[in-house]
Structure formats: structure tokens, C-alpha cells
């Protein structure tokens, strides 16, 4: 870890560069909401919110952001990308109440010559004309050296010449982008070290892209070389493979480089979710810091280590980000995983009952079902109420339903050692199953009792993938009896509950088991 602790500015460009993600276009209201969250809650140092002259809707959004920023004391921290067009970009920004222009200039000789058809001297003259006008109008001016990474590699003398021409022009930040994400950490360190030594009085920003998956590593290299400002986006939004992740950069700079930051990382996950919803771009469940699964231990041995001494916990704890650690339940679960979840629910089970519940969890996990802590009470209730009666055993069952079509059920079942095949139909899948099972059970002088009540539940706050609990109340010759069962499919939860009442009643009749 570095001991050279200093403050690093984080500039968020989700609303400008992040909006260049394929398929992403924030509405004005969404832009304002994200801007407020970034400055007021996450407390980033600066935000870049738009490109000048894009649209009327963009202009309205930037105006609203600037008005709010001035009222809340964030004036001067809202930036807009502008172009070398003398007055047009500057005037557009002024009309929105903006105070900062990030001027896009050509950072490579090839871009200057091929795209503009101009020499370095001609481009410099145009840049200085726009810079002069912006300063005259009271704007703060930063400049992006577009394609700087390739420009520095292909023709460093062009880059030096451009910097020499602009270094005394009143520019606040020289922002050096790896526009196409081509640099490695070694290349970043070498090039930025050179730039910082050649121009020690200038303020450099690094604007990385993630095409090689090296954005965060490249940020570390740039900071080691002396850079004091880094550009990021929420959820890595950006063109192609995206920009550097704000969440990753923040924790790496703090934990691995001992740098000081302004941001309040407890809001990172909430703002990540906001951007995810507004952008429509879903983040991976294993995305560092913000992913749904990154603070979940799956292996039982990890839960055991945490239970005995926090052996699998690190400085990167969920509490920093207003999250909690969880222990997954499934086929890899062990006793410690179950105990951790029972502690969270404040439940206490005997060792014998824990074994039964764990066996059921592993069985459900083998069928690839996702099991959450919210599912656990359903599983416990189901297991503790279950008897080991095996008078009837379902071997196979297929149930089909369709809109405005009668449902059908086909089943293969073993009753007291005899295998039966039957089919049934009805008004819904469970009704079709009851029709089929009664055709079998009448051969054994048994009919399912009538339903007195039927209840299907999922855990509070559960997802569509949650386990389903079905509780059926049966009218058994005037006596009300309940059975319950748990399954990911609500129809099959009802089927299993029905099999329980059959097993119970056959047992009471003293019949032989399967």
C-alpha cells in the first residue's frame, strides 16, 4: 500500500460519457435525479452532465441541474463537454447557467490531420480562440486531449507541441483520455510520469476506458505517476466496454493506495441501483461492490470459518456500503451456513432438526433451486411437520395449463407397492391433479377429502424465483386438518400438500407402506 496519501478528485461522467452506452438515453428528469444523488449523497467532486448543443431536452436538463447546484452550493462542480466552435458551445453552456466547459480538442496528430485536415498550428489557433472567448465570458475551461493515449504513442512531439502551446492559456485541467482503452498499467505509468515531469505546474486528469478490462488497474498506475483527478462512471457505463467503475476505483484508491476521497461510499449501492433502473443496463450479480451476490458466501466451509473466527471476512465488508453479508443455502451448504441464517432469523433448532432441514436444503439445491433466507421459515415448517410415511409416492407428474383451455395432469404413482398411471383434467392444474389422483385412489377405497381452505404464499419481499408455500385445510368428515408443502412451483406445492394428507390418512388406516 502506498504511504503517499493525498486527496484524489473523482469526476463522474455517467450523464455524459455514460450516456454513450449503446441503448442508454436518460430523460431530463432522470438526469436531474442522478446529478443530485451524485453531488449531494455520494459527494463526488465534480460531475460531467452533457455535451453542448445536443438537443433542447438536454439543454433543459442541464439548466435544471445548474439551477439546483447553485441553490445547494454545488456551483462550479457541474461540467459540460464543449467543442472547438468559437462561440457556439460556450454560449449554449452560458444559456444553461453553466460555469465550466470541458473543451474537446485533438490529442493525436492523426486525428488533427485526418479528421480536421489541419496542422498543429492551425488547430492550436482555433482552440485558443474558443478558450479565450470562454474565459472572457467567465467560464472555467478544462480541455480533453481526445485520443491522447494513441497520440502520445504514435507522435509524442505533437502532444508536447500542443501542450506547449496551451500551458499558459488559463486552462484549469488537462484531461488525458485513453479514448479507445488501449493502455496497460505500465504504459499508463510511463506516459503520465513523463507528462507530470514535463509540466509539473499543470493539473492532469485521467479518463480511462475498459476495453482490455484494465481500467481500475490503469487508474492505480496513473495515481502512482502523480495524477490527482480520475474520471469514472456508475456501473461502468460508457461506449464499448465502458469507463472505469466509480465503486471499484473508490475502494481501490482508499484500501490499496491509502488515498483520501470526498465520496460517501455508503451511498454507492443505492445510486448504482438508480442508474441501473434508469439506464436499463443490468449489472452482473458478481460485479464488485454493487453486485447482488458479492457479499454472499456459498461454500459451507466459508460459513464455518466465519462462524469460528471471521476467517473469510476482509476489509471489503458489506457494512461499508450499507449492505449485509449473507450465507447461501443450497447443495454446497453446511451446518455453519444454516446456523448463520438461523441467527439472522433469530430461530433456534435442535441438532436433529437442523440435520433434517439441511438435508432438505441440499435436496432443493440439487434441483438447482435458489434458496434464500426468506425461504427458510417455509422449509423449516414443512420439514418439521412432515412425517416419514411412504404409503403413497409420486414418481412422475406433468401438469399443463393454457389460457381458455382445460388443464390436464398425467402422473405415475406408487400406492402401497403398486405403480399406477393416470391422467385427469380440470379447471386449473391442481384440479386436474385431484381428478387424476382420485382415479387411482378409488381403486384403494380412498378419496381425497374436500378442501375447506387453500392458501399460497411466498416470503415477504420475495422474488418471482422464491419458494412457494401452499397450506391446504381439509374437511375430513367434519374435522379440519391442515397440510403444507414447499416448492418453487405453486401447483406442485399444492400437489405435495395433497400427498401429505393422503399419507396421513392411509397411515391412520393402518395400511402398508410403499
What residues act catalytically? 16, 146
Handedness of CA 67, 69, 71, 76 (dihedral sign): negative
Q: How many other β-carbons are positioned within 10 Å of the β-carbon of residue 391?
A: 22
Q: Give the phi and the psi of residue 358 in degrees, each rounded to 5.
A: -65, -40
| Contact by Cβ (8 Å): 356, 383 | yes
Q: Which residues contact 55 (CB under 8 A, 6 or more apart)?
A: none
| Contact by Cβ (8 Å): 48, 13 | yes
Strand stretches in 24-77, DSSP E: 46-51
First to last CA, the chain: 66
Alpha helices in 367-509 (DSSP H): 376-385, 429-441, 490-508
Q: How many other β-carbons are positioned within 10 Å of the β-carbon of residue 16?
A: 23
Q: Give the phi and the psi of residue 318 in degrees, each rounded to 5.
A: -65, -25
Handedness of CA 177, 181, 185, 186 (dihedral sign): negative
In whole angstroms, give the CA distance from residue 287 to residue 294. 7
In whole angstroms, give the CA distance from residue 127 to residue 113. 15
Beta-ladder partners of 174:
143, 204
Amino acid at each position: 500500500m502506498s504511504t503517499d496519501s493525498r486527496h484524489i478528485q473523482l469526476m463522474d461522467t455517467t450523464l455524459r460519457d455514460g450516456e454513450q452506452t449503446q441503448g442508454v438515453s436518460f430523460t431530463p428528469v432522470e438526469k436531474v435525479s442522478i446529478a443530485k444523488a451524485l453531488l449531494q449523497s455520494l459527494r463526488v467532486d465534480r460531475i460531467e452532465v452533457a455535451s453542448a448543443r445536443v438537443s433542447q431536452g438536454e439543454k433543459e436538463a442541464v439548466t435544471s441541474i445548474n439551477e439546483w447546484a447553485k441553490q445547494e452550493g454545488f456551483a462550479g462542480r457541474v461540467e459540460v463537454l464543449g467543442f472547438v466552435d468559437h462561440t457556439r458551445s460556450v454560449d449554449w453552456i452560458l444559456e444553461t447557467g453553466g460555469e465550466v466547459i470541458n473543451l474537446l480538442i485533438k490529442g493525436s496528430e492523426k486525428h488533427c490531420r485526418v479528421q480536421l485536415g489541419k496542422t498543429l498550428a492551425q488547430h492550436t489557433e482555433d482552440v485558443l480562440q474558443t478558450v479565450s472567448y470562454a474565459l472572457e465570458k467567465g467560464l472555467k475551461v478544462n480541455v480533453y486531449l481526445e485520443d491522447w493515449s494513441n497520440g502520445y504513442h504514435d507522435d509524442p512531439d505533437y502532444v508536447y507541441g500542443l501542450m506547449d502551446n496551451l500551458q499558459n492559456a488559463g486552462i484549469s485541467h488537462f484531461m488525458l483520455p485513453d479514448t479507445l482503452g488501449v493502455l496497460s498499467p505500465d504504459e499508463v505509468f510511463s506516459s503520465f510520469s513523463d507528462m507530470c515531469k514535463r509540466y509539473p505546474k499543470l493539473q492532469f486528469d485521467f479518463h480511462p476506458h475498459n476495453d482490455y478490462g484494465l481500467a481500475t488497474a490503469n487508474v492505480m498506475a496513473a495515481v502512482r505517476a502523480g495524477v490527482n483527478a480520475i474520471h469514472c462512471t456508475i456501473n461502468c457505463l460508457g461506449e464499448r466496454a465502458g469507463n472505469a467503475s466509480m465503486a471499484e476505483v473508490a475502494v481501490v484508491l482508499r484500501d490499496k493506495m491509502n488515498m483520501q476521497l470526498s465520496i460517501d461510499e455508503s451511498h454507492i449501492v443505492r445510486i448504482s441501483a438508480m442508474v441501473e433502473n434508469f439506464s436499463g443496463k443490468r449489472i452482473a450479480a458478481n460485479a464488485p461492490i454493487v453486485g447482488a451476490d458479492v457479499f454472499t458466501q456459498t461454500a459451507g466451509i466459508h460459513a464455518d470459518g466465519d462462524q469460528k473466527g471471521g476467517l473469510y471476512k476482509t476489509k471489503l465488508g458489506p457494512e461499508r456500503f450499507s449492505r449485509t453479508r449473507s450465507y447461501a443455502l443450497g447443495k454446497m451448504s453446511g451446518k455453519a451456513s444454516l446456523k448463520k441464517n438461523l441467527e439472522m432469523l433469530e430461530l433456534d433448532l435442535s441438532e436433529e432438526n437442523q440435520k433434517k432441514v439441511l438435508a432438505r436444503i441440499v435436496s432443493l439445491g440439487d434441483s438447482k433451486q435458489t434458496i434464500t433466507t426468506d425461504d427458510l421459515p417455509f422449509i423449516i415448517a414443512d420439514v418439521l411437520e412432515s412425517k416419514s410415511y411412504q404409503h403413497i409416492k409420486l414418481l412422475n407428474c406433468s401438469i399443463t395449463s393454457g389460457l381458455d383451455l382445460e388443464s390436464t395432469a398425467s402422473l405415475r404413482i406408487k400406492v402401497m407397492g403398486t405403480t399406477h398411471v393416470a391422467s385427469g383434467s380440470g379447471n386449473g392444474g391442481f384440479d386436474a391433479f385431484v381428478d387424476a389422483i382420485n382415479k387411482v385412489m378409488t381403486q384403494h377405497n380412498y378419496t381425497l377429502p374436500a378442501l375447506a381452505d387453500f392458501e399460497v404464499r411466498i416470503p415477504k419481499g420475495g422474488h418471482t424465483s422464491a419458494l412457494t408455500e401452499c397450506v391446504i385445510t381439509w374437511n375430513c368428515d367434519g374435522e379440519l386438518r391442515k397440510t403444507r408443502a414447499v416448492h418453487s412451483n405453486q401447483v406442485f406445492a399444492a400437489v405435495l400438500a395433497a400427498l401429505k394428507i393422503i399419507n396421513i390418512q392411509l397411515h391412520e388406516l393402518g395400511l402398508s407402506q410403499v
